[in-house]
Amino acid sequence: MSRASRPLLATGTALLCLVLWSAASADPRTLNDGVYTKAQAKTGETLYASQCLLCHDKKYFRPILKRWEGQPITILFTVMSTSMPESNPGFLSEKEYVDILAYILSLSRYVTGETELDYKDGALDEVIVEARKRP
């Protein structure tokens, strides 16, 4: 690398850090901030009963949520929407998967809120998995 390009690289790195930092702090919410609604979980429950219950009892997801603590919930959403149901991966719509995810959150008794959990426009990237806080 030439001497002249070093300051440029340093500036670029600093800018990148700034961008990443502001993206991460845009709207930091966790599962304890009421990120889904009661009605959505209800819709998810019906889907879950017909598509998932066959292989996963209701206790299955607690340790899985635990495994993803500190990460955006997008990862879990992507895993389940591309690999489940095992017999027919990706069979449901994204809306249906996100409703099922809301139901999974209700199984762990996370608080509900005013707005539904949404999968569009990277919304799930801004929801961080966190252990449930007792009220």
Tell me: does residue 52 bind ligand HEC (CB under 6 A). yes
Residue 109: CB atoms within 10 A of its CB come to: 10
Contact assessment for residue 127 and residue 73, using Cβ atoms and an 8 Å cutoff: yes
Reading the block at residue 30, the tokens are 């966790």
Least separation, in Å, of the C-beta of 86 and ligand HEC? 4
Tell me: does residue 54 bind ligand HEC (CB under 6 A). yes
Tell me: does residue 58 bind ligand HEC (CB under 6 A). no
Tell me: does residue 79 bind ligand HEC (CB under 6 A). yes
Question: Pick from 85, 107, 111, 113: which binds ligand HEC (CB under 6 A)?
Answer: 85
* Secondary structure (DSSP) of 25-50: TSS-EEGGG--S-HHHHHHHHHHHHH
Cα 126 from Cα 26, distance rounded (Å): 8
Question: Pick from 41, 65, 84, 129: which binds ligand HEC (CB under 6 A)?
Answer: 84
Question: Pick from 40, 43, 51, 106: which binds ligand HEC (CB under 6 A)?
Answer: 51
Contacts of 98 (CB under 8 A, 6+ apart): 77, 116, 117, 118, 119, 124
Quick one: which segment of 18-26, 36-44, 50-58, 122-130 binds ligand HEC (CB under 6 A)? 50-58
Question: Pick from 31, 41, 98, 100: which binds ligand HEC (CB under 6 A)?
Answer: 100
Partners of residue 127 on adjacent β-strands:
29
Contact assessment for residue 107 and residue 61, using Cβ atoms and an 8 Å cutoff: yes
* Residue numbers at the binding site for ligand HEC (CB under 6 A): 51-52, 54-56, 64, 79-80, 84-87, 100
